[in-house]
């Protein structure tokens, strides 16, 4: 087996983190990395202490489940809570960020976004270029070899 690149390695971890998601509409995981070191992880889940979608159902507004905090924002929150500096870091996300998550990523100073699956919002391409944020779509045949379906 060929050794995984750093991008593949951290995306594999994001895929595993996504397995903790509690909103079945979209299982997303994220990993914030600085200097090839994991600084924080996050997944789609409800506000701490409140019931999850997989327990009580979705809370839908305009076609979106608003019960959850997205993986990217959860990773940013965890980094802040743990005192991790993420300015200049990279974030690996199993799906491209929604517009609100993208804005949060930009404002905390993350400089590189790596994602596997494009999800909805094309504005991220133009704005990331204007801000000097590297946006990378990682193309792979299979996320984790020998992983259970």
**Residues annotated as catalytic (active site), given as ranges:** 72
Separation between Cα atoms, residue 20 and residue 15, nearest integer Å: 10
Within the chain, what is the greatest distance between any pair of CA atoms?
Answer: 45
CA 72 to chain centre: 4
Kindly state the tokens that stand for 71.
Answer: 């993986």
Residue in 40, 41, 31 with CA at minimum distance from that of residue 8 = 31
String of DSSP letters for 89-126: -EEEEEEPPPHHHHHHHHHTT--EEEEEE--S-THHHH
């Amino acid at each position: 087996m060929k050794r995984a690149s750093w991008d593949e390695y951290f995306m594999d971890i994001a895929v595993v983190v996504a397995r903790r998601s509690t909103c079945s509409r979209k299982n997303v995981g994220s990993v914030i990395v600085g200097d090839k070191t994991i600084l924080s992880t996050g997944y789609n889940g409800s506000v701490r202490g409140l019931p999850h979608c997989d327990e009580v159902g979705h809370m839908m507004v305009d076609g979106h489940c608003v019960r959850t905090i997205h993986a990217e924002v959860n990773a940013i929150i965890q980094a802040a809570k743990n005192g991790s500096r993420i300015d200049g870091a990279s974030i690996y996300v199993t799906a491209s960020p929604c517009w609100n998550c993208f804005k949060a990523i930009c404002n905390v100073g993350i400089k590189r976004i790596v994602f596997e699956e494009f999800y909805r919002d094309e504005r991220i391409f133009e704005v990331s270029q204007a801000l000097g944020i590297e946006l990378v779509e990682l193309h792979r045949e299979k996320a984790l070899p020998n992983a259970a379906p």
